[in-house]
Amino acid sequence: MSNLPRIVHLFAFGILISILPGTAAAEPVGLRFEGVAGKLQLSTAEARKQLVVSQSSGIREIDVTGKVEFQVEPAAVARVEEGFVTPLANGEATITARLGKDSAFISLVVSDIEKERAISFPNDVIPQLTRAGCNSGACHGTPSGKNNFRL
Q: Look at residue 6 and tell me whether its pLDDT is greater than 60.
A: no
Q: Which pLDDT score, from 0 to 100, does residue 140 have?
A: 61
Q: Which pLDDT score, from 0 to 100, does residue 9 have?
A: 45
If pLDDT is split at 50, 70 and 90, which confidence band does 139 have? low
The average confidence (pLDDT) of the chain is: 79
Q: Look at residue 146 and tell me whether its pLDDT is greater than 90.
A: no
Each domain of the chain, given as residue ranges in start order, spans: 27-111, 122-151
Q: Summarize pLDDT for 10-29 with one digit per residue, the tens.
A: 445 555 454 545 444 555 56
Stated pTM of the model? 0.61
What is the average pLDDT across 105-116? 89
The domain made up of 27-111 has a fold known as Immunoglobulin-like (2.60.40)
Q: CA-to-CA distance for 34 and 32, rounded, in angstroms?
A: 6
Q: Which pLDDT score, from 0 to 100, does residue 142 have?
A: 67
Task: Please give the DSSP secondary-structure letter assigned to residue 122.
Answer: I
If pLDDT is split at 50, 70 and 90, which confidence band does 96 have? very high
Q: Across the chain, where does the E strand assignment appear?
A: 8-12, 15-19, 30-33, 40-43, 49-50, 53-56, 61-63, 69-73, 78-81, 84-87, 91-99, 102-111
